Structure 1
Amino acid sequence: MPDHTGPIGWRKSSRSAQVDNCVEVGRVGDGAAVRDTKDRAAGFFTATGDQWSLFIRAVKANRFDRP
């Protein structure tokens, strides 16, 4: 399980540099934390390193694309 002491280095995609409706990702232990840029105060959720790797692979394989 990721260390919940706080994400380090929030980042968002360079493709969304001019857009406010996106998410930011931060490193937490060996995993990741994700938060909504529109409501940063709402908190974030975390994923283990394995969960994050599986998610990234699924994104790259277009598993979340709409028909």
Structure 2
Amino acid sequence: MSIQQGTTHKWTKSSYSTGNGACVEVRSPETRVVAVRDSKDTGLPALSFSPDAWSGFVARVSRR
């Protein structure tokens, strides 16, 4: 995923999201939480991760 970690109140769609229905959006409104949601159904609850957990996840999926 090509999402830079930083503080933003806007949802940012992953550059890897395409028209195949596998789309995620991320935002980091505070420095201690990263929120992730399904961009197709923004009414569903978002998942929350610590910045360290999110960075570790992104690093692992980026290696594949």
Name the structure with the higher helix share: 1
- CA spacing shift, 1:8–1:56, aligned 2, 3 Å: same
Provide the TM-score with structure 1 as the length reference. 0.67
1:1-56 deviation per Cα after TM superposition (whole angstroms, max 9, x unaligned)? xxxxxx7110102343x627211111132231110112110120110011011001
Pairs within 5 Å for 1:1-67: 8-16=9-17, 19=19, 21=21, 22-30=23-31, 31-62=33-64
Distance 2:20 2:13 in 1: 10
- TM-score, structure 2 length as denominator? 0.69
Rg: which structure is higher? 1
Higher strand residue share: 2
Instruction: Read off the aligned partner of 1:51 and give its amino acid letter.
Output: A
Total equivalences in the alignment:
55
